[in-house]
Structure formats: C-alpha cells, structure tokens
Amino acid sequence: MSEITRREFLQYSSQLASAVAATVVAAQFEPLTALAKTTTANEPGYAQSAGDVLSLPKGGGAIQSIGETFSASPFTGTGNFSVPIATSPGRAGFGPQLTLQYSTGNGNGPFGLGWQLSIPRVTRKTEKGLPRYRDCNLPTNGTDLDTADCDVFVLSGAEDLVPFLENVDGQWKQHERSRTVDDVTYRVLRYRPRTETFDRIERWQSPTGGDVHWRAITKENVTSVYGRTSQARILDPSPNKQHHIFEWLLEETFDAKGNHIQYEYAQELKEPDVTRLGQSEEHRDYSSQRYIRRILYGNIPHSTELLDTKIPKRRNHHYLFEVLFDYGDIAENPDTPYITPQTGDEPTYVEQTANDWYLRPDPFSTYRAGFEVRTLRRCHRVLMYHHFPELAEAEKSATTLVKATEFTYRQDPNTQISLL
C-alpha cells in the first residue's frame, strides 16, 4: 500500500469512528432530552407524573446502605459511630454536649470495647514513647534549649501543643505572665496547637512546680479549666511521684455571661474488694483511675467570679441540672433531696457501700502513663435530673429524674471483653 493510500485509509477510519460514536451518544441521551422537555413546569399544560421523578434503586437483601451516623476515616480506615446522650439544654444553650463515640481503633474503657465519652482532656503524648515527666519551658533569657527529652502535651480535638513564642528585643521567648488566684501566684505559660484554632491555651504552674493545671479560652470567650484539683488528674500514686501528672481532665467550664458547668470525678478505691476476681487482682494500687461521676450546670445565681483573680466554685451556686453516671453503686430509684446552698452542705445520694460497687468481669490495665491505670468499673446508666423548687409540691421532692440512658453489655465468648 502506497503512502497516500495509507493516509487516506486512516482519515476514512477516523471519520467513520467519529460518526459511530456520535450516533451512540445521541441514542443514549435522547430519552433524557425528551424527559427534560416534558418536565418543564413553565410550559402550558404541565402535569407532573410519577415517571417524571427520578429515584435511585433501594438496596435489599444482604446489601444495605450505611447509616448516617456511621462514617469511615479515609486516612486510617477506621469506622466511627456516635450515639448522643440525653441531656437537657442549659440556659442560652450553654450545657454539656455529651456523645458516646465509637471507633474501631479505640481500646477498652468504662463503656466497653471501642467506646469513649466526648469529654476533652489534656494528656502527655505517648505516640513515640512513654512520658518522661519533664515539663521543659523555654528559658526567659532567649538561650537555646534541647527539648528532645521534654514531654509533648496534647489537647483533645487539637494537635500537639507547642510553646507560644514572642520576639522581645530581638530574642524569641515563651510568652509568660503571672496571675494570683486564691492567694496563690501562678506562673502562666502560653501554648498554641500546631494547627491554629485561635484558642488561648495556658499552663498554670504553682510556685512549687508540682501543682499544674490548664486553661483554654475559645474565641467565643468560653473558658475551660483542666485538672485544677487532684480529683480531675490521673497521676502516679507513688508517694514521691505525685507531681507525675499524666492527664488533666475537664473540671469546669464558664462563659462571659455567668454560666458555669462543673465536672466531678470519682476516684477508684486504693484497695477495693476484688477477691471475687481471683488472685491476679491482689497487691495492686487502683487509686490512679478516675471515673466521671456527675456534671452540674444551670447555676443560680449566675457566676460573677470570672476574672483571673477568682475561679467559680460549685459551693457558691445551686444547679438546676445534673447528669449522674451510675457505675452500679447508685440505688435503683435514688430519691434524694437536693441540698440548697443556704445550708452549706454537699448534696448526697443513696449510694451502696464501696465494696458493693459492681466489678466488671473484664478488668484491664493500661501502662501508657508509665504506671498502672487499672479499670474495674463500667458505666450502666446516665441519669438526667432536674432540681427545680417548683417541682417539690407535685413530686414531693425538688429532685426529678427526667431522662435516662441505659447501657447493656454482653461478654465475648472467647475473650470475655465487655461489648456494648
């Protein structure tokens, strides 16, 4: 075949292929074009019929669509699922937003395998090794500091916290200030997340250096305090290592309008009665574990102690709303009057004795903190109470149970792990 003949043949083949493709495309899209013409609502005589609505086929049999609350992470491949906890909205919507979050990457916990409660905390990073409990601060004189052996702090929902630096007379120094609270002068060091969130995060350190807590202020001027007291800290129970704090739990939150939320935690007993679990539970120290006990909000009167000189205290307020967590130690039908602040007493509840706490059949330990954190309990119920004096006449008590979220567990037949 000559060169000219080959060129003509290729041109003819290309034209033929284009004509065939155009015919196929027109045949495919002709019904949709006709449908578009017949479903124009502005034309006279328009009447929508069942054939005008396009609907996707529904899965049946073994093929089902994924629920809206379930999602898969495209980066890690883990499955995530969330269940809201029934709570009452606070004043101006200011109240705890509690959800029970499941992830296939989570370990065991007080709510069973894979489940965690959405309460933020500040913890030491253990991704690359155990914590050394070295809280290195950048020197104020601007000299270099080797931070290779220093611990990195992580705030829930944010990335690593890094020191906030400022240029002072040509030298980079960590932002630092002093504040006095309850006659104690704290050294306040500022941090910021590695990815900016426009939150003001501060580490408050006492003059002795061992008493440390955190504060985070959002751009909406909502302040959260983490681990202000020992009841909201997971620390080494050894007598000479009380300054080894691994986690600072959220203890209180307040805004500029006087609304206040108080979080309370229950400490595990130092020597609980674990004879029913076998000899492997003997000679352990369980006191490092903390369980969320209750959340109080809807304070009356509104809090006026919002400056740096004071932090709101629960003893000065009466709370209208309470979320109570039951670990098997609360009576089936608690009927306890709420003590008003005029009496100066703490509210009490009908609780069973400490040794009657329900022991989970699958106790477990974690050692990421460098010491043992043993979990013996699991949550059975989340109770929502209202403390309105107006209800006392009808209910004979100002304490009224309005909502409850109950959890049922089953044991894995092979591992005996609690599954919610």
Q: Contact, 355 vs 272, CB < 8 A? A: yes
- Reported as a single tens digit per residue, the pLDDT across 337-396 is 333 333 334 444 434 444 456 788 888 999 999 999 999 889 999 999 998 877 766 666
Under 8 Å between Cβ of 320 and 387:
yes
Conformation bin of residue 68: beta by default, left when phi > 0, alpha when psi is -120 to 50: alpha
pTM, whole model, 2 decimals?
Answer: 0.76
CA distances from 72 to 10, 85, 104 (A): 50, 22, 10
End-to-end CA distance of the chain: 78
Residue 295, pLDDT > 50, answer yes
133, pLDDT greater than 70: yes
Which DSSP category does 391 fall into?
G
Left (φ > 0), alpha (ψ -120 to 50) or beta: where does 67 sit?
beta
Query: In terms of C-beta density within 10 A (0-12 exposed, 13-18 middle, 19 or more buried), how is residue 186 classed?
Result: buried
CB 324, CB 330: distance < 8 Å: yes
Average pLDDT, the chain: 76
Q: Is 419 helix (H, G, I), strand (E, B) or coil?
A: strand
When comparing pLDDT for 236 and 50, which is higher? 236
Predicted confidence at residue 54, as pLDDT, reads: 59
- pLDDT at position 269, please? 74
Tokens 């567990």 found at: 409
Cβ pair 263, 119 in contact under 8 A: yes
pLDDT of res. 316: 57
pLDDT over threshold 80, residue 314: no
pLDDT at 2 over 50: no
Look at the chain and count its residues. 420
Q: CB of 398 within 8 A of CB of 388?
A: yes
40-49, 128-137, 162-171, 186-195: least confidently modelled range: 40-49
149 in Cβ contact with 135 (< 8 Å): no
CA distances from 73 to 32, 68, 160, 221, 418 (A): 36, 14, 20, 31, 25
DSSP, collapsed to helix, strand or coil, labels residue 413 as coil
Q: pLDDT tens, 24-43?
A: 444 444 443 333 344 444 55
d(CA 371, CA 247): 12
Least confident of 129-143, 173-187, 194-208: 129-143
Confidence of residue 248 (pLDDT cuts 50, 70, 90): very high
Gap between the Cα atoms of 298 and 259, Å rounded? 7
What is the Cα–Cα distance from 56 to 44, expressed in whole angstroms?
29
pLDDT at 339: 38
pLDDT at 96: 93
- The highest-confidence range among 18-27, 38-47, 297-306, 317-326, by mean pLDDT, is 317-326
How is residue 224 written in tokens?
Answer: 């959260």
Q: Distance (Å, rounded) from C-alpha 62 to C-alpha 284?
A: 48
pLDDT of 304 above 70: no
Q: So what's the pLDDT on residue 137?
A: 60
List the domain boundaries for the chain.
75-419
| SS3 (DSSP) at 299 | strand
Q: Which two tokens stand for residue 335?
A: 């009927």
C-alpha 411/C-alpha 419 separation (Å) is 6
Mean pLDDT is lowest, of 29-43, 85-99, 284-298, 370-384, for: 29-43
